[in-house]
Copies of this chain bind each other. A is one copy, B any other.
Amino acid sequence: MTDGGDIGGGARKLARGEGVALWRQITQQMEREISGGQYGPGARLPTEAELAERFDVNRHTVRRAMEELEGRGLVRIEQGRGSFVAEDVVDYRLGPRTRFSENIRRQNREPGGRILRVEEMPAEAQLADLLGMRRGRPVVVVERLSLVDGRPLLIGTHHFPASRFGRIPDLLKENPSITAALVACGVPDYRRKVTRITARLPTAEESELLQQSRNRPVLVSEAVNVDPAGEVVDVTIARYAAGRMQMVVES
């Protein structure tokens, strides 16, 4: 065995004062061990205190490394329980006719969800432009948390022109399905016209609702939906727990 290193899983000496931060070296080492199969998916990792001792650094330094791994999607950290190797992702198809429930059921998983918020408010400039309506005219905003097998996957915020869809709040009280509410408003079908996608870290509220760590990004999609006549039905902004899904675009 070479200079104090123990490739089999023991402590490998960190290089101090050589330009590479200690926490980065710990990140790399843990990454090697996880992808090398030292710990299987879902397995529990040593505690921060143990790792700190093993690498002979302060616990804060280990924490910095673990936070990095969590953000990269390799581990999941739970307060009071420990750290675990990450697992499982859902495929989420993004097509012109994407409907959440069908999408999920196609993968033999159980869709679910609940309405978080329904309100009417004036349209801001950018939103009004996308909806093709005048600024300040009322829009109905519906926010929904969608689940897969009981785990939150996305937060969707829908914006409908109130002139045409003012009945939606009442309809949703009867039946929480947005698609059904649209049918009742005379929109039997709609399709996605354009989608913009980016990613960022979640706000405190988002990470709370999605039950996802602050370090894991959210995929943010902004979609414009139109009815068969090409009329804009709504603008939806959805935030997906990136750690739990992969968006699939077919073309």
Q: Please give the residue numbers on chain A whose beta carbons come within 8 Å of chain B beta carbons, in ascending order.
A: 24, 27, 68, 71-73, 89, 91, 94-96, 191-204, 214-219, 242-243, 245-251
Q: Would you give the shortest CB distance from A104 to chain B, in whole angstroms?
A: 16
Asked whether, in the complex, the Cβ of B246 is within 8 Å of the Cβ of A249, the reply is no
Chain B residue, CB-CB nearest to A95: B251
List the 10 closest pairs (A to B, CB-CB), nearest first.
A71-B201, A199-B199, A217-B217, A199-B242, A197-B247, A96-B251, A199-B217, A195-B249, A73-B200, A198-B246
User: Could you name 28 residue pairs across A and B whose Cβ atoms are closer than 8 Å?
Assistant: A68-B201, A68-B214, A71-B200, A71-B217, A72-B200, A91-B196, A94-B197, A94-B249, A191-B251, A193-B250, A193-B251, A194-B248, A194-B250, A195-B248, A195-B249, A196-B247, A196-B249, A197-B197, A198-B219, A198-B247, A199-B217, A199-B219, A199-B242, A200-B242, A201-B215, A217-B217, A219-B219, A249-B249
Asked whether, in the complex, the Cβ of B68 is within 8 Å of the Cβ of A194, the reply is no
